[in-house]
Structure 1
Amino acid sequence: MTDTMTTAATSGGRGARERILKATVELFARDGIHATGIARLVDVAHVSTRTLYQHFPSKEALVGAYLERLESEPGGPAQIETVLLCEDLAPRDRLLALFAAPPVDRASGQVVRGCPFHNTVVEAAGRMPDAATFVERHKRELVATLIATAEAAGAADPEELGGQLAILFEGARALATSLNDPQPFEDARGLATTLIDSAIGRPL
């Protein structure tokens, strides 16, 4: 195979869109949207700049596709929220599992990035209205899932408990990111246990 043919095979063709999306999830979630330039994206995705723009004509279009992939990526940056859908766990256990501290490899210089949806809205700073609408819808669905899980757990007031846990969860994520330390998740889990057990009438 000639060099020209090799370049064509790696920079475009079938699978180019998928490689771009995988690179986007990896880089945007880890390094941030603004810090990830197009040159870095095409390098990691093994595509040409032309190919990238053929699939995603603008940065906003790429961010929109990134957000959609976050919701469906198995084992991806947003996986922690899917524990609420694990039917092999009791509802109370699902609620508590949401507060598991994320693993952080300090030796490799890994940092706590927090919620990729929240981070996207912060970085967009009003310049990407479609992204903001997407994240708002996602967060409302998260709260609704928390309320439904709280009801399944037997909470006397599932809407109140679901709302409280949403605030606690989002707060833990934000503080862990600011401190670059997963400890806020451990602290939040203790508070969540108290809230949940009080709401379902379990002895404290």
Structure 2
Amino acid sequence: MKTTKPQAPAPQVGGGRGARERILKAAGQLFYERGIHATGIAALVEAAHVSTRTFYQQFESKNALIEEYLRRFETDGALQSERQLGREDLPPAERLLAIFDPLEAMLRSPSAVRGCPFHNAAVEAAGGMPEVARFIQQHKRAFLDRLAAVAAEAGVVDARGLARQLAVVYEGANALAATCNDTDVIDDARAAAAVLLKTALEQPDDHRG
């Protein structure tokens, strides 16, 4: 007698408790690995094991999900590079360089270097997602403000000027690492940042940027 091989049960599709977190977890993986525009609602609900109806009960739009996806990077500690600025076990000058230390691990995924999630989202949001673009701009301005505050704490006279330079190096390293799928550029970026920091610290007190 021919026997049939039992099939694995299909994933349940549901809502209720935990649905929002499952959607956010799916977005965290798919948006970062595939891209925002390449990830449709169908892929999100399938990965999260929820219905389309449940999705829209949790998020009024895909753009609302994108904002929450990015906000999670600010609140759950995922952006360890930026959080180096708040370390209490390092002097201010070392904190400015420490932002480069976790980049290699943060940039890696199982298949390729993906870069900064905020930068990636900004590229995809250009012209089509103004609210998302504004959220990203606010985050980057806040990062620049934190760099300037730490630079001033380190004794840099033109703290804002150094902050802008370090931000350029940091963002450039992220972008080049993603473009070339190569995290070795992070070492070069840190070395360049060290030169900028040394020069800024050597400026006389009467210097004005």
Normalising by structure 1, we get a TM-score of 0.86
The structure having more radius of gyration, on CA atoms, is: 2
Residue segments in structure 2 that go unaligned for 5+ positions in a row: 1-10, 204-209
Separation of aligned partners in 2, 1:51 and 1:192? 47
Query: Per-residue deviation at 1:158?
Result: 0.8
RMSD in angstroms over aligned alpha carbons?
2.0
Query: Per-residue deviation at 1:30?
Result: 2.2
Q: Is 2:44 aligned against 1:41?
A: yes
Q: Partner amino acid for 1:62?
A: L
Give CA-to-partner distance per residue, 1:53-100, whole Å, 9 cap, x none: 1111221121122122221123x2x33211111222221221111112
Query: Per-residue deviation at 1:116?
Result: 0.7
Q: Partner amino acid for 1:102?
A: E
Separation of aligned partners in 2, 1:67 and 1:105? 18
Q: Tell me which residue corresponds to 2:104.
A: 102
Q: Is 2:124 aligned against 1:129?
A: no
Q: Tell me which residue corresponds to 2:112.
A: 111
Identity %: 51
Residue segments in structure 1 that go unaligned for 5+ positions in a row: 1-5
Q: Tell me which residue corresponds to 1:181.
A: 182
Query: Following superposition of structure 1 onto structure 2, how do residues 1-204 of structure 1 map, counting pairs within 5 Å?
Result: 7=12, 11-74=14-77, 76=78, 78-100=79-101, 101-103=103-105, 108=110, 110-201=111-202
Query: Per-residue deviation at 1:37?
Result: 2.2
Query: Per-residue deviation at 1:125?
Result: 2.3
Maintained 8 Å contact 1:80/1:98: yes
Normalising by structure 2, we get a TM-score of 0.84
> Is the partner of 1:102 in helix, strand or coil?
helix
Maintained 8 Å contact 2:108/2:114: no
Larger displacement relative to structure 2 (129-138 or 23-32): 23-32
Higher helix share: 1
Query: Per-residue deviation at 1:43?
Result: 2.4
Query: Per-residue deviation at 1:46?
Result: 2.2
Maintained 8 Å contact 1:25/1:70: no
- Where does structure 1 differ by over 4 angstroms across 4 or more consecutive aligned residues? none
Maintained 8 Å contact 2:157/2:200: yes
Q: Partner amino acid for 1:187?
A: D
Separation of aligned partners in 1, 2:43 and 2:130? 25
Count of residues paired in the alignment: 191
Separation of aligned partners in 2, 1:132 and 1:105? 24
Give CA-to-partner distance per residue, 1:150-202, whole Å, 9 cap, x none: 11111121111111101111111111111111122111110111111222239
> Is the partner of 1:64 in helix, strand or coil?
helix
Separation of aligned partners in 1, 2:184 and 2:23? 33
